[in-house]
Structure 1
Amino acid sequence: MGKQRFWVKRLIGSLLLLVIGLGLLAPPALALTEEQKFVAEVWRIVDRAYVDDTFNHQNWWLIRQKLLKNPMGNREQAYSAVQQMLASLDDPFTRLLQPDQYRSLQTNTSGELTGVGLQIALDPETKKLRVIAPIAGSPAERAGIQPADTILKIDGVVTEGLSLDEAADRMRGPIGSSVRLTIGREGESVTDLEVKRDRIALNPVLADLRLQSRAETDKPAKIGYIRLSQFNANAAAEVAHSIDRLERQGAEAYILDLRNNPGGLLQAGIEIARLWLNEGTIVYTVNRQGVMGSFEATGDALTRDPLVVLVNQGTASASEILAGALKDNGRATILGEKTFGKGLIQSLFDLSDGSGLAVTVARYETPAHHDINKLGITPDVSLTLDPIRIDQIATQADRQYQAAVNLLTADSMVAAGDT
């Protein structure tokens, strides 16, 4: 028995020595450089949050391993590696925002920016740089740039192959400086425009009371006109203030103008929908697991007066959430053109070096479960609009606006409020 214990101890000891020996012979694990750690940080966020768990039908872990084998001597090379990794997802909305770009985006959503004032996107089919909409009152709008225009060159540099952020960088610059944009427009020849950069105030709401004649009575209809140009941090409070003021002025019906509104903060769109809806679902969100969440009205609507919403090709993202909620709940008549069709939701993540990461984390559906991504929202009343000047918006020269007025007056919707 003692001999057995002796040989067992010798065997265990030999095995331990073998394991230790193998450990000494094995090469030590290589420590990641700071640049590689940064790439791994981005990879990890996308791995956990991205809406498509197939990662565009590719081996996401293998992509990480291949990238980390490449030498990266500085942060610019790390940024390049990250951009290469994200490009493999074929999703222009999931992107790296370098520190200056990230600060610019945060400024944009907070209420002020400098530049030409364009909201842009990469067309998912043509991969060309497309204008969603110029910001109201911006240098781009004053220069005549329109939704659905294509930006072919920036200061002579061809935009095909540029990322959204690279294109935006080329359009930024000191206040008072100019940038030359080569614009393509369907049915027209290519045009070069000199656009002078400026500080752009982002008060997103213009609102006033309009007196409109109606057939049923000599008493004019009091219509509140609200134009919302962007869903930034100020938007919900400004719309609420406008509705409250117009209600006190005796508004009997409303026109909500979302034309050329490229969207912005999802939460702002939800809060503004709650200003018009007492009950009902505002939007459904669907994550990578197919789990559906929803945002609901809270019974805090500020008015039940009749409402017409104006939309066009530049109506996108949070604007489409709002229009879809009001349409599917029967709260408003949607009038104009089919909207842009952006039904994806991004979250922003802070990165360790001050940059940011925008990741598509979910898609949304309207209350009637319509997926509008790349499809848009079809209006209840379809009506195209020939180009008009900025100062003609919401005037008699604006056919869509006049059609909204006619709906609110000829159909006796306003008169119902007099009883």
Structure 2
Amino acid sequence: MDGKKQNKKGTGVKVALIAIFMIICLGVGFIGGSLYPLFQTSIFTKDSLITDQLLSKANVISQYIKSFYLEDIDQEEIESYTYRGMVAGLGDPYSAYYTKDEYEKMMESLEGSYCGIGVLCQKDEETGDVIVLNPFKKGSAYEAGIRAGDRITKIEGESVKDQDLNSIVAQIKGEEGTKVTLTVYQQSTEKEKEFIVERRETENETVTYELLSDKIGYIQVSEFDEVTANQFEEAVNELEEQGMEGLIIDLRNNGGGVVTTAQKMLDRLLPKCLLAYTEDKNGTREEYWAEDDEKFTKPLVLLVNGQSASASELFSGAVRDYEIGTIVGTTTFGKGIVQSIYPLKDGSALKLTVAKYYTPNGVCIHGKGIEPDVEVELPKAFRNSLDVPKEKDTQLQKGIEILKEKMQK
């Protein structure tokens, strides 16, 4: 779960590693975790991971390489992959090592002067591709012909398969007016196509809403970004002005985002109460609270699926624990952990998992997910689709049915 302090059943594409970023121009800080100061010295202690045996064996391998390897040796690459190997040895897909260049690009890409192509993406760890969840209709990617469900396989001719999503986003973003070349496997043609897309400022569309028949409000939240809380508040208020008597919040395929955004959105629904908390390896606990007594009193349904992750699960956990709504769909992804960024003295950086998230009732959902109150699968023909017609959307229709029953009581 992304925060500034901080296999599955599913109805969409199977995703083993989800870390959502809006590839657009935004003046926001780093979403992937907290930034921590440097260790100023390298001290070998008794519990250091760098043992005499490790150093000795590394030296032996080095001598073999220097003596027998056929091609030229890039010393920087050797060092870089040594550090990557240490982090990879943790077996944690959410921890990573960044070279100085990768870290600089990642941080630059999150500053307001750097723009993107207007798409919401997920990383599919099974294939290594980047899945396009939502190309904004006002964005340059949509104008170029990139659609939901398409997969970015290469950036400037380089495969994205073994790259961390942060690095991928950093490459796609850049100065406004410049262009990026993407190789995209298109769902519609089942073929790869090369796109040259202009980077530019794009409005961040994270919340869409409408009033359905029978005075049922529908709000779809694509991710928890800095602007999402205000957009959500506006959507709820507008629907109430239109006479809404029940609400469906759709978090399907929402891979998370800024945890404090989820906190603010829950604060609109719940009175003052504990919403979630984190706990690190030393038992240090940080709590997230609803801060006022305002609450949503109308019938509520929450739609989730196997791609609802991270902050979506924090949101779902609070709805479940306080019993303010009915959760419909399939079991969520199960990502309830926190990553933090540690810059190193040479300009490189580490991203490490440092804590777990817990629901108000003390349940850790990492690796488990949140089971819905009413389990409903999409029709087989639409389980890998990101654009399901409302009349064919069995999860939405079930949510409408449940709301109608609640509204009649």
Normalization by structure 2: what TM-score?
Answer: 0.67
Could you tell me which residue of structure 2 aligns to residue 397 of structure 1?
392
Could you tell me which residue of structure 2 aligns to residue 192 of structure 1?
192
User: For the structure 1 residues 45 and 346, does the alpha-carbon distance in structure 2 shift closer, same or farther, using more than 3 Å as the test?
Assistant: farther
Q: Is the 8 A contact 2:224 2:262 kept in 1?
A: yes
Q: Is the 8 A contact 1:226 1:242 kept in 2?
A: yes
Q: Does 1:103 align with 2:102?
A: no
How many residue pairs align between the two structures? 340
- Offset of residue 369 of structure 1: 2.9
Q: Is the 8 A contact 1:308 1:404 kept in 2?
A: yes
Q: Distance in 2 between matches of 1:153 and 1:256?
A: 34
Could you tell me which residue of structure 2 aligns to residue 129 of structure 1?
128
Q: Is the 8 A contact 1:253 1:307 kept in 2?
A: yes
Which stretch of structure 1 is more off in the superposition, 332-341 or 169-178?
Answer: 169-178
Could you tell me which residue of structure 2 aligns to residue 92 of structure 1?
93
Find 1:205's aligned residue among 200, 204, 207. 207
Q: Distance in 1 between matches of 2:132 and 2:322?
A: 27
Could you tell me which residue of structure 2 aligns to residue 339 of structure 1?
332
- Offset of residue 313 of structure 1: 2.2
User: For the structure 1 residues 268 and 348, does the alpha-carbon distance in structure 2 shift closer, same or farther, using more than 3 Å as the test?
Assistant: farther
User: For the structure 1 residues 244 and 353, does the alpha-carbon distance in structure 2 shift closer, same or farther, using more than 3 Å as the test?
Assistant: farther
Q: Does 1:316 align with 2:309?
A: yes
Secondary structure of 2:309's aligned partner: coil
Q: Distance in 1 between matches of 2:42 and 2:320?
A: 34
- Offset of residue 158 of structure 1: 5.5
User: For the structure 1 residues 156 and 100, does the alpha-carbon distance in structure 2 shift closer, same or farther, using more than 3 Å as the test?
Assistant: closer
Note the 1:130-149 alignment, pairs <5 A: 134-135=133-134, 137=136, 139=141, 143-146=146-149
- Offset of residue 368 of structure 1: 3.2
**Paired letter, 2:182:** V
Secondary structure of 1:129's aligned partner: coil
Could you tell me which residue of structure 2 aligns to residue 408 of structure 1?
403
- Offset of residue 358 of structure 1: 3.3
- Offset of residue 348 of structure 1: 3.9
- Offset of residue 131 of structure 1: 5.2
**Paired letter, 2:231:** E
Q: Is the 8 A contact 1:115 1:175 kept in 2?
A: no
Q: Distance in 2 between matches of 1:317 and 1:101?
A: 21
Task: Return the index of the structure with the highest Cα Rg.
Answer: 1
Note the 1:16-415 alignment, pairs <5 A: 59-60=48-49, 62=51, 82-95=83-96, 96=98, 98-105=103-110, 113-115=115-117, 117-121=119-123, 123=125, 128-129=127-128, 134-135=133-134, 137=136, 139=141, 143-146=146-149, 160-168=161-169, 177-182=180-185, 191-194=191-194, 197=197, 199=200, 200-210=202-212, 212=213, 221-349=214-342, 357-385=350-378, 386-387=382-383, 392=388, 395-409=390-404, 411=405, 413-415=406-408
User: For the structure 1 residues 162 and 295, does the alpha-carbon distance in structure 2 shift closer, same or farther, using more than 3 Å as the test?
Assistant: closer
**Paired letter, 1:231:** F
- Offset of residue 389 of structure 1: 7.1
Q: Is the 8 A contact 1:178 1:196 kept in 2?
A: yes
- Offset of residue 77 of structure 1: 7.5
- Which 5+ residue runs of structure 2 have no aligned equivalent? 1-36, 63-73
Q: Is the 8 A contact 2:155 2:180 kept in 1?
A: no
Secondary structure of 2:391's aligned partner: coil
- Offset of residue 376 of structure 1: 1.9
- Offset of residue 317 of structure 1: 0.9
Secondary structure of 1:334's aligned partner: strand
CA deviation digits over 1:168-210, x for unaligned, max 9?
A: 5665677665422358x9xx99753545545453231112322
Q: Distance in 2 between matches of 1:362 and 1:98?
A: 22
- Offset of residue 318 of structure 1: 0.7
- Offset of residue 290 of structure 1: 2.9
- Offset of residue 306 of structure 1: 1.2
Normalization by structure 1: what TM-score?
Answer: 0.66
- Offset of residue 343 of structure 1: 1.1
Secondary structure of 2:271's aligned partner: coil
**Paired letter, 2:87:** L
User: For the structure 1 residues 131 and 76, does the alpha-carbon distance in structure 2 shift closer, same or farther, using more than 3 Å as the test?
Assistant: closer
Q: Distance in 2 between matches of 1:270 and 1:78?
A: 41
Secondary structure of 2:365's aligned partner: coil
Q: Is the 8 A contact 1:205 1:238 kept in 2?
A: yes
Secondary structure of 1:120's aligned partner: strand
User: For the structure 1 residues 159 and 252, does the alpha-carbon distance in structure 2 shift closer, same or farther, using more than 3 Å as the test?
Assistant: same
CA deviation digits over 1:83-105, x for unaligned, max 9?
A: 34433333232233511112224
Q: Distance in 1 between matches of 2:81 and 2:38?
A: 12
CA deviation digits over 1:100-146, x for unaligned, max 9?
A: 11222455xx9x951473533464xx6x4265762353748974554
**Paired letter, 1:308:** V
Q: Is the 8 A contact 2:115 2:173 kept in 1?
A: no
- Offset of residue 265 of structure 1: 0.9
Secondary structure of 1:310's aligned partner: strand
Secondary structure of 1:294's aligned partner: strand
Query: Sequence identity, in percent?
Result: 29
Could you tell me which residue of structure 1 aligns to residue 29 of structure 2?
none
Q: Distance in 1 between matches of 2:194 and 2:121?
A: 17
- Offset of residue 379 of structure 1: 1.4
The structure whose residues are more often helix, as a share, is 1
User: For the structure 1 residues 304 and 376, does the alpha-carbon distance in structure 2 shift closer, same or farther, using more than 3 Å as the test?
Assistant: same
Higher relative contact order (CA 8 A, sep 6+): 2
Q: Distance in 2 between matches of 1:99 and 1:106?
A: 11
Q: Is the 8 A contact 1:98 1:356 kept in 2?
A: yes
Q: Distance in 2 between matches of 1:370 and 1:44?
A: 37
